[in-house]
Amino acid sequence: MPPQHTAVPERQTFVPPTHREILTILGGLMLGMFLAALDQTIVATSIRTIGDDLHGLSLQAWVTTAYLLTATISTPLYGKLSDIYGRKPLYLISISVFVVGSLLSGTADSMYQLAVYRGVQGLGAGGLMALAITILGDLVAPRERARYQGYFLAVFGTASVLGPVVGGFFAGAETILGITGWRWVFLINVPIGILAIVVVARVLHLPPLRRVEHRIDYPGALALVVALVPLLVVAEQGRLWGWDSPRSIACYAVGVLGVAAFLLAERCAEADAILPLSLFRNRTFSVGAAANTVIGLGMFGGLATLPLYLQIVKGQSPTEAGLTLIPFTLGIMTGSIVAGQTTSRTGRYKAFPVIGTILMGLGALLFSRLQADTTLPYVFAVSILFGLGLGFTMQPLVLAVQNAVEVRDMGVATSSSLFFRQMGGTLGTAVFLSVLFSTVGSNIASAFRTASQTPEFQAAVADPAVVGDPANAPVLGMLQGGGAVPSLDDSSFINNLDPRLAQPFLDGFAQSVDTVLLLAAFIMVLGVILTIMLPELPLRNVSGIQGRFDDDAAAAASGGVTAVGGVTAVVADEAAVDRAERAGSEHPGTGAAPG
């Protein structure tokens, strides 16, 4: 009996949204991203007031750690689940969870409660940025995508400017509408989040995914929690506990066991894994993951010290320090726009991460020359340079990974890129702050020995007005008794010292900041090497949704049986199958046969 020949199922097509429709959708996505971006800066500005009011300032680190833990762990989960169940419902869930966490945080009566509620916030925050970038990838082809991604960085730039101002306003207000001022730091997210939910629900329309049987990788999720929780906790608390303390060693041991269990679980889960190990066979993904980790080290770790320099050495308030770094934000936005527009016109993107990491390394090197008397215009200029490098680097790296992996893995690949950047930032912050505070005592002591030889300092010590001022007692007692340098856990006493006695503190702290930023510059050399190693693949000209349709058509052709309009079709066109397979091998980054 001759074989039955039936036509290959008709290929679905996706009509991409117009520029105006994309901007409307971006409005909803950016509202969600704005929540996460604003939260980072607004809470940091007001945490001291919050801690004082809840009588638990010493516990403020746990409030930050709880948010960081849940946000980092949930990021890859959102990416994988969105690949299975769709982006829109997961994005709406992430916003909703964040709003609930914000509402709870605004009602906290203790720092322990606040830490728990901030953990709920973090569960929502993990999906806000990753899913927004992935949804854009679904709607727009990589070549066009580059010019839209700059809008996302503009959101972060705006939030970094507004955060210190709004946080300072709320923290400084006794009450607003009968509610304690600092509680609005969290409550402000509720109306913004509700607006984001309404806008996304109304304007974002994505075609349903092809139903494929999947199993949830529960063992991998549990192992990820076991791996990351102790490692992130020791990264945040190790400096206070001691890196070789029993608690730190216990965290290392549990974390290593968790990592081993996670790798085993992901190997067993194969394609259903939260982080499929097969992705690391993709050179762009593996190099991009390493580069994102290094950039997180240099960016978050190095920049964690700049606000401290501005507040302690320059005597600025948290709000003033945030505003002083506005040029940094302008550099990010400028770099992102230039990189996005150029990539969209030329289709080339590799040069930007390479140039960006060079500029970041150069910026860190110039920052390592900060002194107590360094002028603010110098800080502004170097901030622009560092921000420009970051703007050149962040989005092109995500674009490269999205373009290189199969479209069915775009969600998990995007979220994984951000996951590795966040992990690098956490590690960098822990290491660099540890370096800062482990060297600052000796540097201040050295600065006092140098200053004690100067006539100005000797005159200050002998001045009856200085000796009689109680504010100078900690330093005078140290000089007379040969004791240790006063602790900088509360550095506010420096502002009340006689300027001649305060100067060695400023010089010593600036020297420790220089050490940290010099270390960041050396780390960015590795970033340059990794971005040079990054492959540059031709950018696809189809959106993520169209790529999925093409994948479905290729799967139907190679699988032999498919259902079209409720009728089973037998595909027997061997040539068509062969063409689809060849297309997949010639274009491994697309994961789809050309239409």
pLDDT tens sequence across 461-471: 787 877 777 77
Residues 492 and 412 sit within 8 Å (Cβ to Cβ): no
| Mean pLDDT on 107-114 | 89
17-206: CATH number: 1.20.1250.20
Q: How many other CB atoms are there within 10 angstroms of residue 531's CB atom?
A: 28
Residues 376 and 562 sit within 8 Å (Cβ to Cβ): no
Q: Give the pairing type, strands 179-180 and 561-564.
A: unpaired
pLDDT in tens, 2-56: 555 444 445 556 666 777 888 888 888 888 888 888 887 788 777 777 877 887 7
* Residue ranges matching CATH 1.20.1250.20 in the chain: 17-206
Q: Give the pairing type, strands 175-176 and 179-180.
A: antiparallel
Percentages (nearest 5) of helix, strand, coil residues in the chain: 80, 0, 20
| Mean pLDDT on 227-239 | 80
pLDDT surpassing 80 at residue 540: no
**Residue 56 three-state SS:** coil
pLDDT in tens, 182-195: 899 899 999 999 99
pLDDT of amino acid 568: 33
State percent of the chain over pLDDT 90: 21
pLDDT of amino acid 534: 92
Model confidence at 530, pLDDT cuts 50, 70, 90, reads very high
Q: Which of 346-360, 413-427, 545-559, 569-583 has the highest mean pLDDT?
A: 346-360
**Quick one: which of 71, 81, 82, 156 has its CA closest to 394?**
156
Whose tokens are 């994309």? That residue is 22
C-alpha to C-alpha distances, 368 to 5, 339, 364, 379, 516, nearest whole angstrom: 72, 27, 6, 11, 8
Q: pTM for this structure? A: 0.79
Q: Give the pairing type, strands 179-180 and 567-570.
A: unpaired
**Residue 329 three-state SS:** helix
Q: How many angstroms separate the CA atoms of 97 and 123, rounded?
A: 7
Residues 73 and 79 sit within 8 Å (Cβ to Cβ): no
Q: How many angstroms separate the CA atoms of 5 and 569, rounded?
A: 9
Whose tokens are 């060695």? That residue is 504
pLDDT of amino acid 351: 93
pLDDT of amino acid 212: 57
Model confidence at 524, pLDDT cuts 50, 70, 90, reads very high
